[in-house]
Amino acid sequence: MKHWHHHTQEEAIAALQSNVEQGLNTAEATQRLTQYGPNELVEKGVKSIWAMLWDQLSDVMVIILIVAAVISALVGEVSDTVVILIIVVINAALGLTQEYRAEQAMAALKKMAVPSVHVRRNGQAQEIPARNLVPGDIVLLEAGNVVPADGRIVEEANLRVEEAALTGESEPVEKHTDPIAGEDVPLGDQKNMVFMGTTVTYGRGAILTTTTGMNTQLGHIANLLQDVRNEPTPLQRRLAELGKTLAWVALGIVALVFVLGAATNEAIQELWANSAGIMDYLESEEIHELFLTAISMAVAAVPEGLPAVVTVALALGAQRLLKRNSLIRKLPAVETLGSVTVICSDKTGTLTENRMTVTLLDVVDKRESVEQLLTGTYELAEAEQRWKQSQSNEASPCSCGRPSIATMAK
């Protein structure tokens, strides 16, 4: 059944073969969990460690370094080959370590964030993991709960839900159980439905779970986000352009050195004058020496340390962001974040946590910030205030027993 908002409670309950008072039984819930799968958002394209390593080695600059190392080995420059390969390994290891640790941290956070929900099963209210929720479950909601799946409201008492994650509106929406006319109704107007990822801000209610996991509205959004093609960052584009430029420069150096050397070498000119064959040129020692010279100059034009320097700089930036509670999954994202100049937003409730926070406590004539109360620095501030007050009293002139104005008035 589609357009759950368009149908009455009875029609929705009958379509899912459920019962508001009893809920599903254990056997039926188990069968539906096998049929529909767990209630969780599936992340597509999770990379293996080998895929991460391939991404590190497929960069244009890294490919140029590998080619330079191979050529250096062929011409007998063992020291250059070892140095270049060490740089390639260090660069790949830094990038791979950062991405792998970030993936592991994200996985750990997901495991820690597995919520539990209250449902009616076998005629009793019980608590189960949200991932075990199935269509047809009766979920009990109250203020503060995050809605675990899409559902049709079957019971409500002053129920209000904040749907900023889906609609962008920070104001809570008042819900009801009546059917809504029309099929293509926007999500913000489906006031008899609740959706996965939204938050109950007031009241309580019960919902009939209609869709779970990737079939929810939040799951559709996750699908769209995962289908977006990854665009290279500004730094990656600039490094790729630099790599291509260096490749053409190296080829130009090889061609220029080889042509100029061939034009000025007497032995090669003699071969040309005698109309020598290709094998004669290939066997010529002068040709070998000239070719090795041109290759060596081309390899020398490649900045071997550039990829490692860039990777180290980005890794240090990622570590600094981590200390400020920002987890960077891929190193190039550090530079992307640094390239942001303007952030446009028209929804304060969506951009921020959309929660009221107590920052100042003002009781009668005493005012303290919550931060001072939590850290204990309010005692120092109070002692300092008392000291200043005592100093001001000592500095004031003595009344020397003279009657005050109030006494004289009496």
Query: Which residues are known catalytic residues?
Result: 346
What letter does residue 150 receive in the DSSP assignment? E
CA dist 366 and 381 (Å) reads: 12
Strand-pairing partners, residue 368, are 361
Host H or E run for residue 351: helix 348-351
**DSSP 3-state assignment of 171?**
coil
Amino acid at 67: V
**DSSP 3-state assignment of 153?**
strand
Are 205 and 216 contacting, i.e. CB atoms less than 8 angstroms apart? no
Amino acid at 170: S
Helices 285-300 and 234-264, packing angle to 10 deg: 150
Q: In this structure, what are the phi and psi dihedrals at residue 120, rounded to the nearest 5 degrees?
A: -100, 115
CA dist 300 and 136 (Å) reads: 69
SS3 string, 294-323, reads: HHHHHHHCCCCCHHHHHHHHHHHHHHHHHH
Token pair for 228? 């977006």
CA dist 187 and 325 (Å) reads: 33
Token pair for 393? 């009293």
Whose structure tokens read 């929660």?
Answer: 355
CA dist 321 and 48 (Å) reads: 25
Are 131 and 193 contacting, i.e. CB atoms less than 8 angstroms apart? no
Burial grade of 72 (CB within 10 A; 0-12, 13-18, 19 or more): buried
Measured CA distances, 352 to 140, 170, 345, 347, 357 (Å)? 28, 10, 11, 8, 12
CA dist 195 and 139 (Å) reads: 12
CA dist 239 and 385 (Å) reads: 58
Token pair for 297? 């100059």
Are 152 and 134 contacting, i.e. CB atoms less than 8 angstroms apart? no
